[in-house]
Structure 1
Amino acid sequence: MDTDAIRAFAQASRGGPRLIGVDLGTRTIGLALSDLGRQIASPLETIRRVKFTPDAARLRLLCERHAVGGLVVGLPLNMDGSEGVRVQSTRSFVRNLKPLLDLPVLFHDERLSTAVVTRALIEADTSRARRSQLVDKLAAAYILQGCLDRMRGLVESEDDEPEPG
């Protein structure tokens, strides 16, 4: 992920203390919410996709309710880093969302997020039915947490730099 893009997003998203992570699927949208200090991502909910307008309205309502300053949207890159049809669909969703939800958006690489979450749920002996209820919002939390960690790492590395003298 581009360091400059993360810095610009961190600056632009100061309009609200929290961030929402979005795992956009074809049938569901997993959502996660950061804490007020932007340190920890927690699963929020899974939206069963119907049509763009009601899906966007639900996302907008949650952003308003939780005083969200920006969206971190998982970008489903191919394993080789190339962009495929799912990336185009994700970018299109965000482009259509922009006029309805005036918040900064940061795309974050989501490769393997669902696989990591699914593996953890299997290791925790979670039933298949329960996994299907949890996986999308947990994947959103995984994506958002990765972004929060990168943002925190940038701030810490900037704090360690000597001041010009």
Structure 2
Amino acid sequence: MRSGIRLGVDVGKARIGVARSDPHGMLATPVETVPRAADGRADMMRIAEIAAEHEAFEAVVGLPLNLRGERTLSTENAEQFAHRLAAHLARTGVSVRLVDERLSTVSAQGQLRAAGKRTKQSRTIIDQAAAVVILQHALDIERSSGAAPGYAADATPTGTGEATE
């Protein structure tokens, strides 16, 4: 298991949930919900600030595939975001990986309901909770396999990779 803090990123159309791990890669916790920027810059800058604040070495972006493992419009959106984020973070030394995140939002909603939160109450934190689910999944994969989860995002919007899960 690699040591160091990782960020988990749940990309939505309006908001981006961010979570972080502890330095030992054992536990993911929520950090912040970042508004999605129309210009595509302010959100990248804020995530870079969060990475610097927490001294993260990696960001794990959820790749939303459908239940059959097929790509969707949301998949393309998240992948393009991850490539832009990789380009933005390249100068800081923070790498970006894409990890299968099927049902992360559904899982996060279920956990919040179990904690007594109604949907309207949880809208501000659902994205963070989904980022926690994504990051915890990635940490668990790495701990069990000994290899980094998912695949590296290229620092170009047209770059693609293959999932290794």
TM bin (shorter chain):
0.7 to 0.9
Kindly provide the CA deviation profile for residues 61-81 of structure 1, in whole angstroms up to 9, marking residues without a partner as x: 111111110111100101110
Alignment of 1:1-165 (within 5 A): 17-51=4-38, 52-102=40-90, 103-155=94-146
RMSD: 1.8
Kindly provide the CA deviation profile for residues 79-116 of structure 1, in whole angstroms up to 9, marking residues without a partner as x: 11011111111111122222220222221111111111
- Paired residue secondary structure (1:21): strand
CA–CA distance in 2 between the matches of 1:106 and 1:38? Answer: 15
TM-score by length of 1: 0.81
TM-score by length of 2: 0.81
Change (3 A) 1:93 1:155: closer
Count of residues paired in the alignment: 143
Kindly provide the CA deviation profile for residues 121-143 of structure 1, in whole angstroms up to 9, marking residues without a partner as x: 12222133321111110110011
CA–CA distance in 2 between the matches of 1:110 and 1:58? Answer: 22
- The structure showing larger relative contact order (alpha-carbon pairs under 8 Å, at least 6 residues apart) is 1
Kindly provide the CA deviation profile for residues 4-38 of structure 1, in whole angstroms up to 9, marking residues without a partner as x: xxx9xx5xxx6xx2000000000000000000111
Deviating above 6 A after TM superposition, structure 1's stretches of 4 or more consecutive aligned residues are none
CA–CA distance in 2 between the matches of 1:97 and 1:105? Answer: 7
Letter in 1 for 2:60: V
Which segment drifts farther, 137-146 or 105-114?
105-114
Structure 2 stretches of 5 or more lacking a match?
Answer: 148-165
